[in-house]
Structure 1
Amino acid sequence: MTNPYRDIFKAPGSFAFSASGLIARLPVSMITLGIVTMLSQTHGTYWLAGAVSAAFALSNALIAPQISRLIDRYGQRRVLPPVTVITVLALTALMLSARYGASSWMLFLFAISAGFMPSISAMVRARWTAIYRDTPKLHTAFALESVVDEIVYMVGPIVSIGLSVALFPEAGPLAATLFLTVGTLLFIAQRSTEPPVHAQDKSKGTSVIRLRPLQWIVLTLVAIGAIFGTAEVTAIAFAGEQGQKAAASIVLASYAAGSLIIGLVFGTLKFRRPLATQFLYAIALAMLTTLPLLFVTSIPMLAVILFLAGAAVSPTIIISMGLIERLVPASKLTEGITWAMTGIGIGMALGSSLSGLVIDAYGARSGFCVSIGAGVAALMIAVMVYRNARSPAPVPMETAVSAHC
């Protein structure tokens, strides 16, 4: 029996761009927590640290899709270097400002400027799509990248926080900046696998987010992201109430492990049902796995339930990418994938913020109610995805905009 993951790497240059992409996207999971850890040490306040970190996250959520639109139009090799330079300079200025006690407005300015950081994850998936479009191997490739994302979010925060605490406050963001620089240079050096620049359709500069099916997918992923963000905050709060706050890391690791393991298995499977149907089933599973959280009474029990809940994470993301590949014109694929990843990030921020407010008011276990509410919302929106995205054929942009807007 052949190994499907080994098979996808038979394409020349595939291992090189996937590996360099892993390095280049480590900062995604390092910068926000790195900023919080750095500023909480240099300025002694968490409100400022959290606000500056949130400014970066919001800025990146708004800017990254625009960068991806430019990449679809002009190519990765032409757009990635300048936006990476802007990001590196902004992060360097942010670290120096923190180091030498600059005014708060400067911290916000440089954090917002660092939002030019490109979505490397979307560009890696765009390369896989260019190689394996309309083949079963693309499903496996998307599964692999979902697993890589889990690795990034497991390793990145540990490295970022650990360096800032063990060495000096700026060490975490500095490492993230170096990973971004080196990884991006290695990534753009892989010219043979860079996706071709497609001729733009009649919509020209129109954003792909105007496609109604994509809007429903992104909204669903915002709700799914809220489940992720709520789980992180509530797990920490619950472990703290149990007097075992350090155990929260084990609980969250079990959540990521469930997603990673199921993602690897899911990538080897082949399904006959349409992607829209698979998407609906995956979201329904994600919603159902939030219900047992209401009955959690101990940390081991929470770890087991979150491990099972993680089973819905990777399939949801893998299927979402497959749907977007089918629904979005090839000339705008990178932007479409970036909107999906942005939706998850926005949802995580909303979920963590809302659950924090609920936990402060009603206790740790009440935070799980936010997870359930987000799960129900995700399922309701997924029904709209099912209704709007059952056609497997790509939608011409000019036709889609007139039909859906």
Structure 2
Amino acid sequence: MSASPAVRPSYAVVLRVPHARRTFAAALTGRLSYGIVPLSVMLAVTRASGSYAVAGTVMALFGATTVFLSPPRAALIDRYGPRRALIPMTAAYLVTLALLTLALERPGAAPAAVLGALAAAAGACVPPLGPTMRAVWGRLTPDRALLQRAYSLDGVAEELLFVTGPLLVGVLVGFAPPAAGIVVGAALMACGMAAFLSSPAVRAVPPGKATVRRDGGALRGLGRPVVAIAGVGLALGVVDLLVVAFAELHGQGSGGGSNAAWVLAALSAGSAVGGLLNGAVAWRAPAGARLPWLTAGLGLTLCGAGLAPGLGTLAVAVAAAGFFVSPTITTAYLIADEVAAPEARVRAGAWVNTAVNAGSTAGTAVAGALAGRLPVGVCFAATGAVVLVTAAVTAVTGARRRTSDLVPQI
């Protein structure tokens, strides 16, 4: 669907859509919790247990249930509607965070197994506000050109939240215990969710059909964006660790950590710029045709990062790689919205989310195994090559899908 000739799609037009600003602001308030709670939990567990091993295990449990149970949580929203599913989900999330905060109140008071169980339970209940908001965007902006800008704006704002959240935690722990960050994150989720669910745009979303859970066709065609975005997530997980390793090798004295922070900030800045420009362009090619090219752009720039001789050039190379990150993710969300049945849009977005996060987790593990055995430049190049292979697979499967669509069905 093309944009209406009477109104040129823009970010201002997106925010002028009835109920858009109110709903989006509420969703962002709740989603800021995602940037605050994980770091606060890690710091609080480390302080209470005195063990990095315990903190790592607890965070692994929290991350695993958050990521891999996201599609089932999204399925509940598709099945019962946002209000009926998100209210009990949010209540369970807040209760488990409260119990975890109490367990962390005194160092050594709670066994590691209890902390792990509470963290896993909290992760299992995390409300999927991001996928739900994107599904609401689809209802608010049925025009495809306007939806592209809405998704781009949403993606850039979410990335900024994940930068802002840890910064707020850093300020908070300067005068309060780390567990206070869990309380702040819970309060943001409670306030944001209450405002989100009271929005007329959310109240208007009907529950899905009873047959959705058994209808595999509702998500047919989702494999391409999921595969591509898993490659992007893998690259992000690898780059985070490789930048730290590169900074330690090329930094002077103890400045490796701060240098790595600046390089990773360049990655985020490049992603934000790329996302905003991607949303502002009136693309002629469909999202399915753009996805492999954007993925390939990320792969090529990562290969180039492997040639960087110093921190300055690495920052430029990483910023160039970031330029493709947000557009690729946004395009994947657009494809997911296109191929999913209307009653399965939250699940479709959740699968893309899961692919990014699972790929990032795997990438961090792979980078940790390779960084000590291979030169950092080789690791960058290898990561870029993997992303290029992902782009090729995405292009081939897309061509096959277009060919099969042309074959008459008998």
Question: What TM-score do the two structures reach when normalised by structure 1?
Answer: 0.90
| Partner of residue 396, structure 1 | none
Counterpart CA distance in 1 for 2:307 and 2:355 is 29
Query: What amino acid is aligned across from residue 340 of structure 1 in structure 2?
Result: V
Contact 1:88 1:177 in 2 (8 A): yes
Go from structure 1 to structure 2 and tell me whether the alpha carbon gap of 1:206 and 1:158 turns closer, same or farther (over 3 Å shift). farther
Query: What amino acid is aligned across from residue 268 of structure 1 in structure 2?
Result: A
Residue 209 (structure 1) shift: 9.1
Go from structure 1 to structure 2 and tell me whether the alpha carbon gap of 1:139 and 1:282 turns closer, same or farther (over 3 Å shift). same
Q: Of the candidates 66, 77, 98, which is equivalent to residue 71 of structure 1? A: 77
Contact 2:10 2:280 in 1 (8 A): yes
Unaligned runs of 5+ in 2: 1-6
Query: Does 2:175 correspond to 1:133?
Result: no
Q: Of the candidates 293, 296, 303, which is equivalent to residue 308 of structure 2? A: 296
Query: What amino acid is aligned across from residue 302 of structure 1 in structure 2?
Result: L
| Partner of residue 205, structure 1 | 213
Residue 366 (structure 1) shift: 4.9
Query: Does 2:47 correspond to 1:41?
Result: yes
Residue 110 (structure 1) shift: 0.6
Contact 2:291 2:331 in 1 (8 A): yes
Query: Does 2:28 correspond to 1:22?
Result: yes
Q: After the TM superposition, which of the residue ranges 357-366 and 71-80 deviates more from structure 2?
A: 357-366
Counterpart CA distance in 2 for 1:297 and 1:4 is 40
| Partner of residue 3, structure 2 | none
Go from structure 1 to structure 2 and tell me whether the alpha carbon gap of 1:390 and 1:42 turns closer, same or farther (over 3 Å shift). farther
Residue 276 (structure 1) shift: 1.1
Go from structure 1 to structure 2 and tell me whether the alpha carbon gap of 1:371 and 1:186 turns closer, same or farther (over 3 Å shift). same
Q: Of the candidates 288, 304, 307, which is equivalent to residue 319 of structure 2? A: 307
Contact 2:229 2:352 in 1 (8 A): yes
Counterpart CA distance in 2 for 1:161 and 1:390 is 49
Q: Of the candidates 182, 187, 194, which is equivalent to residue 196 of structure 2? A: 187
Indicate the SS of the match to 1:12.
coil
Contact 1:354 1:370 in 2 (8 A): no
| Partner of residue 57, structure 2 | 51
Query: What amino acid is aligned across from residue 243 of structure 2 in structure 1?
Result: A
Counterpart CA distance in 2 for 1:388 and 1:164 is 53
Query: What amino acid is aligned across from residue 16 of structure 1 in structure 2?
Result: R
Q: Of the candidates 359, 362, 384, which is equivalent to residue 371 of structure 2? A: 359
| Partner of residue 274, structure 1 | 286
Go from structure 1 to structure 2 and tell me whether the alpha carbon gap of 1:323 and 1:273 turns closer, same or farther (over 3 Å shift). same
| Partner of residue 224, structure 1 | 232
Counterpart CA distance in 1 for 2:85 and 2:22 is 20
Counterpart CA distance in 2 for 1:299 and 1:166 is 33
Query: Does 2:208 correspond to 1:196?
Result: no
Residue 135 (structure 1) shift: 3.3
Contact 1:276 1:385 in 2 (8 A): no
What is the aligned-residue RMSD (CA, Å)? 2.4
Unaligned runs of 5+ in 1: 394-398, 400-405
Percentage of matched positions with identical amino acids:
24
Question: What TM-score do the two structures reach when normalised by structure 2?
Answer: 0.89
Q: Of the candidates 80, 83, 86, which is equivalent to residue 89 of structure 2? A: 83
Contact 1:13 1:190 in 2 (8 A): yes
Q: Of the candidates 349, 356, 367, which is equivalent to residue 344 of structure 1? A: 356
